[in-house]
Structure 1
């Protein structure tokens, strides 16, 4: 479930559209190829036939009664009353008289095409035959018109066929994604209670082991067990949050103005014990006033907490972490920078892939991938920058929104419970 449900639906629609477009393109290409082949065959066949008739008429045709669409010109012969203007071509007749060789040419005139042949007949007369191609040209136009109508019908058929094929071919993918989301949600819910029970029991056993004075190796083993179960619970929380975002990402009804400055300070305060244990210095600065973004507070808290937790995990003891909030245009930027080992610049984008590991002991898991889902679902972006040995910097950019309206006088403020 790399994308939210909205993104998945968009991908499914785009896949269906691509199938319809490809099907239409294939049909269009086939129709164009068929049209070109038919036009080429018709043009060559018509031209060959007309030239045969023209040569026959020039050599043997009756000057007073030529074939249809043909006019014959010779010395002493009277042209027909419907003869086209501009004929005969005197230059061709003069050339034939000088050389005795036949001359053929194509003349474009008055919106039509004329084929012209001038030659010497067996009786010694010089004759010029002219053939009007207007009917053949009309046949070609009718052919392309018919192909155009067939193309429109084909496109409609292609659209219907592509839509049906798209639904039939993409439907299993959409169903598989739905089943995958349902399985993750159900499995996470079913596992959450026993994991919580195991985690609580492990904590109790760890405290009892310390009170009973058990050997250090047993106490250390219980501490590691508590940590492992705690991380398993965090993974389940990530899966549940991801499933909820995918099932109904950033529901508008649940979006409220969230004070990102106060939220960041609260997240830092929650990690105070862990920060102190590692001897780190964490500062929150930048904005001198409250900065509001619209969204789901629990999801945004999880995102900011993931950045801070990630920085704490990868900053050596005695290091420094800076959390800065700034206003940039119509957006709010929250940056978490640490003095940890950093990472290769080429790995920046891949850090947000699920279970990706950047180098030995590098950042990996669901956290950063889930972080991007949360931020993207809120209409924002998240980027990473860093160099080996120079720490890492993660920046969340979210659209700013107006602060919430003031509470009515006498009302009691309600604070949402934290998970």
Structure 2
């Protein structure tokens, strides 16, 4: 027997909120329709009653007994004899009312049921003679009933429509709340997953350093442990920066501006210069002609390039190479990061972009590449992954070019960033790329490396 899992408290809160909003919207709509229907009904009833009383007064005062208006009959009391209109019902007139008017002369208006019908009766004196005008209310009452049925049907339809509209409005109203709850949980999960290992390492290193200081208080002997602590703290800061960027990515859309992808690539390569030199890895950078300006958040795009470079450095052996190539097409700017490291299976490309993913060749990747995918998605860009086990990997990102009016950030002029000694080699912007609209792996310039 399988047990059904109950929703978690956050999910139950969203469900209750959605139902409450739906009920409130339905109640407001239904109440509004009910009030409108009631108003319409009473306006119609009042208009019918006013018209009937006015027509009956005119008939009682001036109509001929032998030719009364439609649906109206006249009765006249002369001494003890009652004259009646042709076709008048046998249950009429109301003789008691005629006698009272004959006695006191007061005009009386009554609603009387007789013979299974409802009549509006006006009794008054006309030229000293008691006259009774009678109007059959069958048709007005039938019209009211039809109107009432129509209004009830409209109320039911309005209730169903209100429930549907309330459901739609409720879903839209709680969508930001659901998204915030989802992002909060994802952030908490990322924090728990990403910070556990770095904090454990820092704790162990701090314990080792403390023990060495107690045994051998010479600071030079614990310099290596301190260096490892500094490195670990720096890595922990990078993880926290990635987590915060992932959590705030949607809010940064408003701060999008022109960003030179080539300049960001060179900046990121320079930032990794020390680590590349330590690992014995050479980083090469080649820019195609023209500008490479996109519209986006420079910190986020810088983290994209840094994450791709970090991934390449971690999977490239000493003596290996990493090549960055930036080029522009009519509508997009493309940046490729290629290495000759451990490589990957192209079939794992999509899975590598998931959070906390890894492969037998790459190991765990945390949220780094997943963050790349999120940033590119927020910028309307794409990423392609290619490679072979043992033959390196290529990560290619494409971003929409900025409009001409937005290209406030320009690429450095040709020769503005000359090559210099060290693990990062920058080729001049004028160095040829055989196809400046594509940076296929087969066309990446490696001769300068």
Report the TM-score, using the length of structure 1 for normalisation. 0.50
Q: Please give the TM-score of this superposition, normalised by the length of structure 2.
A: 0.47
Select the structure of larger CA radius of gyration: 2
